Structures are given as structure tokens and as C-alpha cells.
Amino acid sequence: MSHSTSANTIRVRVLAITSLIWIAGCVGFYRVVLADETLRFFESLSLMLFVVLFGWIAFSFSMALEGFIGRITRTRRQAEDDSVRHWDQIGSSNAVLVPVYNESPKRVFAAVAAMREQLVAKRNGVDRFDFYILSDTTDPDVWLQEEWCWSELVRQFPRESEQDDADSAAIHVYYRHRTHNTARKAGNIADFCENWGGHYDHMIVLDADSLMTGGTMIEMVRRMKGDDRLGILQVPPVPVGRASLFARWQQFSAAVYGPMFAEGFDRFAGDQGNYWGHNAIIRVSAFMRHCQLPVLPGPAPLGGEILSHDFVEASLLVRAGWKVKIANDLGGSYEECPTTILDFVKRDQRWCQGNLQHWQVMTAAGIHPISRIHFLSGMLSYLAAPIWMIFLATSVVAAVVNEHFGQWPIAGDGTTIMLGLFIGSMGLLVVPKFLALVVAIYESDRRRSLGGAMRLLMSVLVETFASVLFAPIIAVYHTRFVISVLTGHNVQWNAQQRDESGVSWGEATAQMWPLSVAGIALGLSLGIARPEWLGWFSPFVLGWALSIPIAVAMGSRRLGVGMLHAGLLQIASERQPLSILARHQHWIAEIEAWQRDEAYEHRSLLDRFLSDESFRNQHLAILRSAGNQSPVQENEPEWRTRCGTAAAVLTEPASTRRRLLSDDEWIESVELKTRRASE
């Protein structure tokens, strides 16, 4: 059976199971709302919303079930045959791209150093790799730190042999800064392709917090060479390296549930998979030919520049006949995750707007049906929350205004059906977690790496309890995000918070007090009017009422480390430390030591820029090499500072410093101004 036929068979099976579950649930709910043989307005509305919600969770369950079947029945991947291995002898050129935007330079460059180190040790002598740090940074101080880190790191790298240089096999690290960050990350990648893409066969796209082992990158290249129709190969990233309780919860969920869900997604998608924007390898020629992003009609937030570019780029390649696949059998792909609920929702707000934009692409001509499902799933991951909230509200109103429906529990058969629907819905949400637990226990290597069956079971119970409390909180935030987008409020695309700063009681109270009031009010109202409903609404009452202490506790490193010491929510990298994570920390410490040495000589990097000609010339060379110089004009507010003394820039605001650092003519004049000031 061909891979395509197999994928089609799996798709039919997933959709058939989804349809059976969906129809059964919809018929059951229809019988409930018709218990008194009338169909009123709020009952009709709740029925329509139930149809959408139940279809969504039925599809998600079916995908999880497919992943369970795949993980249980799969055999270990056999060695590739000689017809594929002969591609290893054909060299390729590969760029490893690290787009950054106001990130911590020491963490970014330490990651590059660690990954480069592994490639130096593992490369096969045939394929060439180069790293590109593609900066869209707008903070002038961070910009200069990036340049300083880059220069120091390159200077510290041990030089490869002369033979490597002769064979063009040395692993170089390049740095480029854009003065104007047009189109955000997508524009950053497009700028690389326009200027340097023609020199490379493949590009491995990372995020600022990504880490990939050298072996994984080499294997990704090998698979691209082995299939000349493969456009994107996505390796699922695993979150690691964080200690807060919230981060540990996410890391554990990804480690235990992720492989099964990735398996189901891969089996369903086949050659029409998806791209998540990072930790993936892309065929440069195909990307440049087919992935020019359109500007969506209409104003932002639903129109204009596409924010979430990855799904769109995957769909454009699939439309052009290229394969987009998920390498769910590959490890060695890592990322960091938000450490607090507040950081999580800030990131989710950006993703919400980006995903809701996709409706225009989803309905475009030529888009593959599987790509349309990817778009719809992404949209429903945010739309489900307001639909759920409205469904609950309409159901309560229907129960109050309809005397028969308002008798809770409903008399007769209605009680049995309603109870069955509730248990069935909860089962569709919870059973996949325990199927993933079964898979983790069944796979002996994973079971041992995650602490054994008993610790796994206890951790899944803790994670499930946390999910029950967290779901009502995130549902409110997602509802707010969707309403914000639909009412025309455009999100600001700011840099992500990467540090583990925790959440203070003041921050939590400022953000969560409306939720706490709503939870307390809901609990009191139900206790007075409908005490029999408290059990059904207890997740909302508890989740909302306790949202402030939940936010504080989730952001706590102390509680996260306590869980680690108790053997709960552990992941494999905590029991068997990974070499690349250790080397990342080593390079962070090295860069911090260099920074301490630098502090003795200069008050700041801007001070060094003004007084150190070599550092200034390096900045000028970086600026001009990418054609990003932009002289200040007389009509700009920075003109007065430009014409003043060089030292005057030290007291100027960040926006002025940034503008002047883009002015190559001013930079050339700094030495003369400095000399005159000293005279």
C-alpha cells in the first residue's frame, strides 16, 4: 500500500469515527432540548453551538485515537536502504537561521555556539552549514550587545583546519541587522532569501529560544536530499529548561502527550502536513518560488500583513505540489516555553489574531482540503472558547426560562441523556491523556526516562487537575482575544518574555481580580438559586475564584522545583541531562564572564561605540554589508542631535540612539567629533 493510499485510509477512518461520535452526541442533545416537545430560541441557539463544539472535540479525540493506534502498532524504524543512503554522498549547502527581535543576546549566541559545536563534531564532511543571526531588534542597547556577542563569539571559536577552509566546510556564523523590520519574522526570512538564499539548498529555521542537536540537523538534511519533492520537514520541538510550576506543567504535557498527538497528526496529514515556524528545514528554491506571502484585503487586524505566516507557507507549498511532512520520529529538537500564565496569554493573543486571519487563506482557490482543515483547526483552537462560554450562558438561560428544561436534573430520559452527554464530553477531553499515559508506559525507554509507571500516573493526575482549573481561566482570555480582534483592535507584536521572573501578588491581582469576582459571584448565585448546579459548574467557580493564587503559584520556581524533588512532572532531560543543554549553559556562563571583563573598561556598549574605533567600524561594516544604512534627514527630529557632539547621544532616548546607529554618515563623523571634543 502506498503512503498516499495509507494516508487516505487513515483520513477516512478519522473522519468516520468523528462523524459517528458527533452524530450520536448531536442526536442526544437534540432529544434533551425537545424533552417538552417545544424548541425555543435559547434552546435552538444552544443546540447550534453544541453542534460546533462537539464536532471539534470529537475530531480532536479521533486524531488522538489514531495517534494511540500508531504508537502502539508501530515497529521501530528500520535502517534506510541503499537507494536512499547514496544521497549522503551528494553535498549540500545549508543555512541555519536564527531570527531575533529584542531577545537576550547572551542566550541566543550561547545557543548558536552550542549547536555549532555539535555540528563541528558530527558533520559528515560533505554537507556545509552556516549560521545566520537575523536581527530585527529595535532596542539600540540590545542591538549593540548582539554585535558585541557576535564578534566575541566568532573570535573565541577555535579555527577549523586549513583543509576545512579549502573545502568550504568551515561552519561560519554571520550576523545581519535590519533597520526596518518590515513584515516581522516573515519579512526577516524573506530578506535572507532575497540576499543570500541563492547560495543554499536548505535552510533550517529556528526561533530565538530553539536548540537542535547536530545529529538531528544532519539527519534533517539527509532526509531532504533523499526526497527531492520534500519542501518542509518539521521536527516537533520539545519544551525544556524551565523550572516554574507552569513551565513544568507544559513541559510534562508535551513530553507525555505530545508524541501520541504528533503521531496522529502525522498519520492524518501525510504529505500535506504543517509548519510551525521554527525547528524545521525548508527547501530554499521551493520556498522562494512559492511562498511570497500575500497582503490580505481589508485593514488589520483581520487584513493586512499576515502575522502567523507558517501555516500559510506550508499550504502554499502543498498547493504547488511539494510535500510538507512531520518528522515525529526525530528527537533532538527543543524550545523554551512561557513560565507564567500572564506570559502565556500575551503570546496567545498574538497567535489568536494570526490564526483568525487565516480564514481568508483557507477559502482561497487551490488550497488543499487538508490544509483547509489545518487552518480551521487553528481558528477553532481560539474560537472554541467564546463558543463554549456562549453555549453555557444560553443553556443556563434556556433552563431558567423553560420550566421543564429548568428542572435540574431533567426528569425521565432527559436526565440519563444529559448525564451521558456530560460524561461523554468529559471522556472525549480526558481519555486521550490516559491513552497517552498507556503509550508512555508501553514504550519502555520513555517509561524509564520519565520516572516509571507510578510517577507517570501520579503526574498525569496532577496535570489533569491543573488543566481543569486552568481551562476556565484561559477560556475567558481567549474569549477576550477573539472579541478584541473582531472589534478591530490590532495586537502589538512585542518581544517575548524569556526570563523566569514569576508573578507577584500585585501583578496577579491587577490582572485577575475581575475573574475572581466573577467566580465568587457565580458560586454564591448558584448556591442560593440552584445549589444542585454547583457540581456541574464547579470548575468555573473554583478556577475563576482562585485565579489570583493560581497565577502566583503557577509562576513559582519554588513550587516547580518542589515538584521536581517529589518526582512529579519530570521530563527525560531532568533525569538524564542533555549534552546540548549543558553546553548552552556553559556558553551562557562564558559570555557573562566576557561581559564582566568588558564592564571594567566601558560604562556601556554605546560608550564603547563612541570611543572604540574598531567596534564602531565593525558596526558600520555590518550595517553596510546588508544595505541597511539610513542617514538621518534634516526634517527628522534626530537631526539636531546628529549635528551636536558625539557624547550628546549618550543622554538621548532609545528611539534617537537607534536612529543614529542606522546613519552611516553620522557614524563616520563620530571619530572627528570625538577628537574635536577632546581638544
Phi, psi of 212 (to 5 degrees): -135, 140
In this prediction, residue 416 has a pLDDT band, given cuts at 50, 70 and 90, of: confident
* Residue 285 cell numbers, joined: 528554491
Q: Give the C-alpha separation, 366 to 316, whole Å.
A: 9
pLDDT in tens, 26-53: 999 988 877 666 777 888 899 999 999 9
pLDDT in tens, 469-482: 999 999 999 999 99
Q: Give the C-alpha separation, 573 to 222, whole Å.
A: 26
Three-class SS state of 577:
coil
Burial bucket for residue 505 (CB in 10 Å: 0-12, 13-18, 19+): exposed
The mean predicted confidence, pLDDT, of the chain is 89
In this predicted structure, what is the pLDDT of residue 531? 83
* Residue 57 cell numbers, joined: 472535540
In this predicted structure, what is the pLDDT of residue 408? 43
In this prediction, residue 82 has a pLDDT band, given cuts at 50, 70 and 90, of: very low
In this predicted structure, what is the pLDDT of residue 33? 79
pLDDT in tens, 504-523: 999 999 999 999 999 999 99
Pick the most confident of 161-170, 481-490, 524-533: 481-490
In this predicted structure, what is the pLDDT of residue 142? 96
Q: What mean pLDDT comes out for the span 427-432? A: 94
Measured N-to-C along each axis, helices 505-529 and 453-486 cross at an angle, to the nearest 10 degrees, of 90
In this predicted structure, what is the pLDDT of residue 407? 47
Region of poorest pLDDT, from 1-15, 86-100, 377-391: 1-15
Q: Where are the domains of the chain?
A: 3-74+380-574, 91-367, 603-678
In this prediction, residue 622 has a pLDDT band, given cuts at 50, 70 and 90, of: very high
Three-class SS state of 451:
coil
Three-class SS state of 183:
coil
Q: Report percent pLDDT > 90 for the chain.
A: 71
Which residues are CB-contacts of 49 (< 8 A; sequence separation ≥ 6)?
A: 387, 390, 391, 394
In this prediction, residue 414 has a pLDDT band, given cuts at 50, 70 and 90, of: low
Region of poorest pLDDT, from 54-68, 162-176, 440-454: 162-176
Query: Distance between alpha carbon 522 and the CA centroid of its chain, in Å?
Result: 34
pLDDT score of 168 more than 90: no
Q: What mean pLDDT comes out for the span 98-103? A: 96
Measured N-to-C along each axis, helices 140-156 and 654-661 cross at an angle, to the nearest 10 degrees, of 50
This prediction's pTM? 0.92
Region of poorest pLDDT, from 33-37, 569-573, 675-679: 675-679
Which residues are CB-contacts of 338 (< 8 A; sequence separation ≥ 6)?
A: 246, 247, 250, 344, 346, 347, 496, 497
Which residues are CB-contacts of 159 (< 8 A; sequence separation ≥ 6)?
A: none
Burial bucket for residue 252 (CB in 10 Å: 0-12, 13-18, 19+): buried
Nearest partner of 387 among 493, 505, 512, 483, judged by Cα:
483
pLDDT score of 566 more than 70: yes
In this predicted structure, what is the pLDDT of residue 382? 96
In this predicted structure, what is the pLDDT of residue 169? 59
In this predicted structure, what is the pLDDT of residue 594? 87
21, 29, 38, 52, 357 from 34: Cα distances, Å = 20, 9, 6, 19, 37
pLDDT score of 487 more than 90: yes
CATH architecture for segment(s) 91-367: Alpha-Beta Complex (3.90)
